[in-house]
Amino acid sequence: MCESLVDDSVLSLGPDDHLSGHPLEVRVKQLFTDLGVPIQFGREGYEDLTAQIPDWVTGSLRSTSMPLAIEVKSSKAPSPSTDDLRQLDDWVFDLSGEEFARKGGASSELARRAQFMVATGLFQRPTVTPYKGVLVFNGAISTTFATRVDSLQPRDEEFANKHALCVTTLLRLRTWRDFSIGKPSARLVFWGQLQHTFGLLKNPVDVIDDMRHHMDEFGKGMDRTIWLGISETPLVGLGLEDSAN
């Protein structure tokens, strides 16, 4: 009910930098929807949201993509905690149907290996369905976005990398939404980044700079419709038209 009233502009969620709890989950769901990602609330008592692979993800990117298990957190602290990441990792295992591996004594390193092997095409998807874990964080709550620094503590960066988790702040997710307006290619890049990031999701400007550098250094004459296998769809409107020529 709350979500439908917000969508109808009857209610306001409030300032983004103050959001927590269910209003924050609704806001995150809105941003993913704006990015064209089919998303729904998760199972009660488990993950906050889940997202399926969008229809507009095709070719090699689709074959290496996983649906998303999304956990949404806020805190007075400036960065998420290890407990936040551990909880997300638990939901990923349970949702993927891989909990049996943990009960058998396997570590969650198995999840990372399975994700890598699926992503690189080393084997076909098993009967279980691997999910990519994404943590969306809003903090330090009630401080302005202008004063925040997006970062992870070294131990949490290590945990996210080891367990193949992608972490983004609410502001960074909103930045990707704004960047993608009117740019269908940008949402392909966004989806690819979610899938391939182990740790903190990069800002779109940094990602495009990385792409331009790669094309300048290694892609002379390279067809810009394909970049590192991200898509067979032309990546246009991203400022790369002068590269790889």
- Alpha-carbon Rg of the chain, whole angstroms? 18
Residue 133 bridge partners (DSSP)? 69
For 37-82, what is each residue's pLDDT tens digit?
999 999 999 999 999 999 999 888 899 999 999 999 999 999 999 9
Three-state SS for 213? helix
Q: pLDDT grade, residue 122 (50/70/90)?
A: low
Euclidean distance between CA atoms 31 and 36, whole angstroms: 9
CA 48 to chain centre: 14
| Mean pLDDT value of segment 28-39 | 97
All structural domains of the chain with their residue ranges = 2-202
Euclidean distance between CA atoms 192 and 229, whole angstroms: 10
